[in-house]
Structure 1
């Protein structure tokens, strides 16, 4: 059977016309063009082997024809055929199918290891739906906000004065919502409270929250770090949010402009299974802005 398997694998439709041999001792079999009595070899011509193959090959082609007709009935077109499985290693079968495909404008392929392709496919099919329950985040993810200024630590160029605040703040400081190495699952969520200062008479009440990531081991503190990449934005529209319940105050002793301090919540949801990070900006439970981005 091992010898016959080698004959099957090596048999093709063109090329070598030599006979194939199988060692098989047959008692009382006379020496002839089909059998070498002295060596105990059965001699098979190419026509003999083709005759063995032909019924199975014809059946395979008939099944492909049937499949092709079925595909046409739903308005689709067969454009390629991939030969896999143990019989897929047959050069003769591949040759016959390739000829059939060429006359119909169909591409035929045969992978390097067609029999192994079936085993690998079965293994992959069995693994569908089996995903890691938890992962470790490979990067830091967060957004930039203004923090209270730290003398001697924060650069003076980043110092800003916010309306309705009596202290100096530092812009472009990072609020990391999740850090590198943190364990995340499909249900991992995070919530961070911030305060947004809004001018009451402003006609455009939208603002952009930029999302950043970094693969540095130590999370950078400022957006100016070379290890930080911008990975997305969240456009927040406060015009659609009811803010009339928040007090209005003048921006300063000599300012006539009125501002509101509006508490907000930045909510993040890491879908470990889908690989999508969802970010929402909430005000009193109302969504003012949202975005999704693919995370590593």
Structure 2
């Protein structure tokens, strides 16, 4: 079995080996001969067709389906598919992958020493002592539901969303503020900042609740009901930590007051982070779900 795993498993060719018999040494069997189950002189003989149907095909089919699932998440052309890892050295897997994906992907290949590619990559990353990935591509859009001053097109497109806030200003609900659009190429850890403003009637009104959405569409949408978006989370931001809020809250404000601040989004290959910023200083941080 060890010999099969180390050599014959990778050299196995699939249907071309259907007529071949594969022999596996068995230990401590009694009797050593039982032709009814293919046991001859302590060796189990398995026809290639049975080995393919019961051993290889279930695993290879699962690998191919996992690749298909990843391809469905990519809304753009894929130029190359590289097979890496121990089983990527399998001739049968490589043949099936080429057969299935060559029509959609220009290059289906295995790098030299494909079985140790991930191991060598991890070692290089550790020895480099610096980030090897300098940029990331946003796999989806991240946007926030906001209330913004009503504009002329809001009166035409969504008049039902327009109302007056406590300060008597006409605002439009259910607007989308994009933090990053799908497909944007960003420096790893780059911070994307956007300015926001909250009106507080009293000092107790200190929480800013930001509803974050994601979208797989490349369309830039203006309203929450305009296309397919998915709510990621509700980000509750405590503005009470900001000096400007504390200063305004400490003085009588019969008509309420505004607090200006910034929210930032940082992406790298592992996570997405939200940051509360005021006058260039970080005042809060949260980690969001990330889909690679």
TM-score for both structures, normalised by structure 1: 0.54
Q: For each residue in 1:166-208, what CA deviation from the matched residue of structure 2 results, as whole angstroms up to 9, or x when unmatched?
A: x411111111011122112313220111111112243x53232
CA contact (8 A) 2:209 2:237 kept: yes
**1:12 counterpart = 2:6:** no
**1:188 counterpart = 2:182:** no
The offset of 1:246, in angstroms, is 3.6
Partner residue of 2:164 out of 161, 164, 182: 161
What is the aligned partner in structure 1 of residue 172 from structure 2? 170
Q: For each residue in 1:205-225, what CA deviation from the matched residue of structure 2 results, as whole angstroms up to 9, or x when unmatched?
A: 323211111122212111123
The offset of 1:132, in angstroms, is 4.7
CA contact (8 A) 1:220 1:228 kept: no
The offset of 1:234, in angstroms, is 1.2
The offset of 1:158, in angstroms, is 0.7
CA contact (8 A) 1:241 1:288 kept: no
DSSP 3-state at the match of 1:245: helix
Q: Aligned partners of 1:120, 1:179: CA distance in 2, in Å?
A: 34
Partner residue of 1:123 out of 104, 117, 127: 117
Q: For each residue in 1:267-295, what CA deviation from the matched residue of structure 2 results, as whole angstroms up to 9, or x when unmatched?
A: 11111x21x11112233435256342213
Q: How does 1:3-82 map to 2 (within 5 A)?
A: 10-13=23-26
What is the aligned partner in structure 1 of residue 14 from structure 2? none
In the superposition, relative to structure 1, how do residues 291 and 158 fare at CA in structure 2: closer, same or farther (>3 Å)? farther
**RMSD between superposed Cα atoms in Å:** 3.8
Q: For each residue in 1:119-172, what CA deviation from the matched residue of structure 2 results, as whole angstroms up to 9, or x when unmatched?
A: 64412211226665433223211111122212343412111223335x411111
The offset of 1:46, in angstroms, is 5.2
Which structure dedicates a bigger proportion of its chain to helix? 2
In the superposition, relative to structure 1, how do residues 227 and 249 fare at CA in structure 2: closer, same or farther (>3 Å)? farther
Q: Which 5+ residue runs of structure 2 have no aligned equivalent? A: 1-6, 9-21, 44-85, 92-112, 126-131
Query: Which structure has the larger Rg?
Result: 1
Q: How does 1:1-296 map to 2 (within 5 A)?
A: 10-13=23-26, 120-128=114-122, 132-151=133-152, 152-164=155-167, 167-202=169-204, 205-242=206-243, 243-246=245-248, 257-271=254-268, 273-274=269-270, 276-284=271-279, 285-288=281-284, 290-296=286-292
In the superposition, relative to structure 1, how do residues 228 and 178 fare at CA in structure 2: closer, same or farther (>3 Å)? same
DSSP 3-state at the match of 1:10: strand
Number of equivalenced pairs: 192
In the superposition, relative to structure 1, how do residues 282 and 113 fare at CA in structure 2: closer, same or farther (>3 Å)? closer
Q: Aligned partners of 2:242, 2:214: CA distance in 1, in Å?
A: 29
Q: Aligned partners of 2:172, 2:88: CA distance in 1, in Å?
A: 62
CA contact (8 A) 2:144 2:211 kept: yes
The offset of 1:116, in angstroms, is 5.5
Q: Aligned partners of 1:277, 1:154: CA distance in 2, in Å?
A: 33
Q: Which 5+ residue runs of structure 1 have no aligned equivalent? A: 19-44, 50-111, 251-256
In the superposition, relative to structure 1, how do residues 123 and 153 fare at CA in structure 2: closer, same or farther (>3 Å)? same
CA contact (8 A) 2:167 2:255 kept: no
